[in-house]
Structure formats: C-alpha cells, structure tokens
Amino acid sequence: MRDLSIRFQAPRGPILALRGINLDVPRGSVVGLVGESGSGKSTLALAIMGLLSDNACISEGTISFLGRDLRTLKPAELRSLRGDRISMVFQDPMTSLSPVRTIGQQMVDVQYRKREVSSNGKQQRAAEMLRRVGIPDPEHQLNRYPHQFSGGMRQRIAIAMGVLERPDLLVADEVTTALDASLEVQITHLLREFRREFDTSILFISHNLGLIAELCDIVVVMYAGEVVEHGTVHDIFHRPRHPYTQALLECDPARIETIRRDLPTIAGDVPNLLRVPFGCVFAPRCPKVFDLCHAVHPVDYQVHPRHLARCHLRGNQGNE
C-alpha cells in the first residue's frame, strides 16, 4: 500500500478512516497489525480484499499485489486474484461459512478453478486439510453443517478453507480473538506451519500482543487511521520509539509482572475521525506531548531503514 487513504460517507460527514498508509508484506513473512479498536485495522484488511462497504472510497493511493495495481485490474482478474492468491479469515467464522451448505460442499466450492480434479478428489483434499487443522474423522465431518461444530472447530474449518488453495497472501483479522488461550496458541502454530510449507505471506491482525510477538516478523502499529510505528518484532517490543507503542505495551496485561487490581490504560479516547487533529493524531493523549505536536503533523522518523516512527521526539526521549 502506498499513501492509501480511505474515507466512509456517514450521516454526519466523511470519516477519514485511513490516512496515508504505507505498508509492505514481503513474500513469506508474517506482518502483525496492532492498535486500539477503531484504529482502522479491519478497514485496511477489507480494502485488500475489495470488500469495503458501499459507503467507502479509496480517496488516495494504491494497493498493489505482486507488482500489479489492484485498481487497474479487470473485475474478472480481480475475482480470480482474490479467490486463489489472496484469502481472508475473519474473527467470526460464520462470516465466511455459509450456514446452509455442508462444509464439504463449501470446501469443494473453494476449489472451483481446479477443473482437472474430480469431485471425489476435491473432497479428499478438503478432508486432508481438515485433518491438518485438527478436525478428527474429517471424511465424516464433511457432511455436517457449520452450526454442528463448536466455535473453535468452526474457526479451524474457516482457516482450512482459507489456506486450501495455498494463497500467496492470507489476511487473518482477529481469527483467534473468540477462542480460549490454548486454541489461540494452536491456531497460531498452524498459521506458522502453513506459512513455512506454502510460503504464504500473512497479515495477522490481533489484540493479543503475545501472539503477535510469537508469530510475526514485522509489526505495524496503527492509531486512529495512521501507521504510527513500523519495525521488526524486536524493534517494536524491545525498542519502541512512539509513545503510543510504548503505552500499548505498558497496558498489555500479559507483560505486567505484579498482580494488581487497577490495570493501566491509555487515558483518553481514540479521536473522532470526522475531524482529524491538525498536528500529531496522538497528541491529545500523549504523555510526552510538547508544543510542536499540536501544531505540526509529524513525518516518519527513520530509526534505521526498517524501523520508522511518526513522532516529533525522533527517539530523543524514547524508552532505551
């Protein structure tokens, strides 16, 4: 994505949901996307898939995949790209599964481009993938409907469908959020296996910083529609430069060593995106704010070529 901006038309005026997003997902890598609710993570994911709602518009910038600008492709080319090369799994598996078709039928449907494979062959491929994601007795399960599975099993089925055609890019939007801790880890391990085996790149959106740290190579931190910091997983977790990233890490319950009743939070709320602040978008909540922050929108400061932070402090008072 280059300089990508997306706005939603809403009754009270346009919502500037994404502004000037630059993001790369190198082949075979896992890129983690973090940020509070409303920061624009799902909007970004849906934009890649071409699934934005009708009131959304890409007001600026480009999304390219394997060197091709998605906006210049014909509808048929786009459909085939989004069916075979890019796939997406959502937080709620019922979003991608149809309630009225058996999972076997749906997993055969996904393979509709494989004309050379017989229907039986497609069923076998489906069963094999279900086995991989830990669904016992898969041949028998293919005849069942989504509601006949537990939520965790449904999510594993949705992931099996997502990787069945070995996409180049898998977009996973909070796929573990509704699961218990042990299942979360299992799913994360599965994604890591698929990435190694199929060389699939993954854009992994999660609120669970522990999973992000375990799975991702690169971490992108979003706040109120902007990427505020971007670096290797090590940079972000050990040398965060942006006060927002620092605050996000400080509030992670898993990183707080002493048991305490009053878990820390980031004071204030994500700004209303009908009116984006003039200076730094995080200034109203930033503990390190100074005059310049309210007056001038910061540019990306390069800590090193792969580590960028959009902050006027330029690391001067960061957490070293």
Phi-psi region of 259 (alpha: psi -120 to 50; beta: other; left: phi over 0): beta
| CB-count exposure of residue 232 (10 Å: 0-12, 13-18, 19+) | middle
Tell me how far, at minimum, the Cβ of 55 lies from ligand ATP, in Å: 5
Window contacting Mg ion (CB under 5 A); options: 40-48, 162-170, 234-242, 270-278: 40-48
Window contacting Mg ion (CB under 5 A); options: 39-47, 116-124, 213-221, 299-307: 39-47
Note every long-range contact of 121-125, with CB atoms under 8 Å and residues 24 or more positions apart, other chains counting: 125/164
3-state secondary structure of 32: strand
Helices assigned H by DSSP within 114-232: 119-132, 138-141, 151-163, 181-198, 209-215
In angstroms, the CA 49 to CA 38 distance is 19
Q: Residues 176, 207: contact at Cβ < 8 Å?
A: no
Answer for which of 1, 8, 301, 310 binds ligand ATP (CB under 6 A) is: 8
From ligand ATP, Mg ion, none, which one binds at residue 37 (CB under 5 to 8 Å depending on kind)? ligand ATP
Answer for which of 15, 158, 236, 249 binds ligand ATP (CB under 6 A) is: 15
Answer for which of 39, 42, 106, 155 binds Mg ion (CB under 5 A) is: 42
Per CB under 6 A, does 17 bind ligand ATP? yes
From ligand ATP, Mg ion, none, which one binds at residue 296 (CB under 5 to 8 Å depending on kind)? none
Window contacting Mg ion (CB under 5 A); options: 42-50, 66-74, 103-111, 305-313: 42-50
Per CB under 6 A, does 10 bind ligand ATP? yes
Residue 216 CA neighbour count, 13 Å, CB half: 28
For Mg ion, the closer of residues 41 and 312 by Cβ is 41
Residues 38-67 contacting ligand ATP, CB under 6 A = 38-43, 53, 55
The residues of the shown chain that bind ligand ATP, judged by CB under 6 A, are: 8, 10, 15, 17, 35, 37-43, 53, 55, 273
The residues of the shown chain that bind Mg ion, judged by CB under 5 A, are: 41-42
